[in-house]
Amino acid sequence: MESISCTLAEVVECLEALYDPSWAESWDAVGLVCGDPEQAVRKVLFAVDPVAVVVDEALGWGADLVVTHHPLYLRGTTSVAATTFKGRVVHRLIRGGAALYAAHTNADVADPGVSDALARAIGLTGDLRPLQPSADDPRRGLGRIGDLPAPMPLGEFAALAASGLPRTAGPLRVAGDPGRPVRTVAVCGGAGDSLLGTARAAGVDVFLTADLRHHPASEHMEADGPALVDASHWATEWPWLADAARRLTSALAARGITVEARVSDAVTDAWTATTTDLDPRAS
């Protein structure tokens, strides 16, 4: 189907109806990073990170807009000079006619949001509910809790989760008896160790998230908390991209506008290899 272009302002309006910026944490930096609101948009690329390889893909494809989960300037800046990689991202996008938009913690707590997509990717079925509901709307919030179709050993669940997530250099890490039966699962896309106590209080069997640190994880397990599965930060957020792309194109289609949306499959996880990959003695 031929794309019918709309303005960037129209796309941003749809994005912000789906992922209201007011839902973002106070420290976050969401919204339009660069781009002329009146420019035409025909192609939209969705990615987790606003990094060089994503810019390469966007410009090579002819994207008019890049929507990323992570903000480019989370802590603010006084310069967009091309002397830094972030400045070069801005310069290259502007020269290439592509805008940049970020939906971060406002997408984390949306209904559906980042953790809904993660929950489905690792095999949870049925209704999902927030692990930490938002005060103003209990249907929204951080993380999700759901159930597997049937109980299974923790080791089998970890393998199921690994098969549902995009592949990265490192494997999933597991804390708990691999034979322990699990069915009720909590997930949180991205760094979720601030929710360890919440997952324990929720009485789930296992909590899957990313960026778990040694001491919080160790203390959690010593307190007889649910089993833990620690995945790549990038991998736990990547499943949301396809859902966001579908929701945006559907919202625009309801206005009679057709745009082409694409999900970047560039693996932008920070970790690119393990010693097993690099050590010639392992082959």
Give per-residue pLDDT as tens, 218-251. Answer: 999 999 999 999 999 999 999 999 999 999 999 9
CA distance 244 to 103: 10
- CB count within 10 Å of CB 63 equals 28
**Across 83-109, average pLDDT:** 98
Q: What is the pLDDT of residues 172-220, one digit of tens each?
A: 999 999 999 999 999 999 999 999 999 999 999 999 999 999 999 999 9
pLDDT on residue 218: 97
Q: What is the mean pLDDT of the chain?
A: 96
- For residue 283, the model assigns a pLDDT of 55
pLDDT (0 to 100) of residue 1: 47
Distance, CA of 141 to CA of 111 (rounded, Å) = 8
The count of other CB atoms within 10 Å of the CB of residue 41 is: 24
Reported as a single tens digit per residue, the pLDDT across 63-84 is 999 999 999 999 989 999 999 9
Average pLDDT over residues 113-136: 97
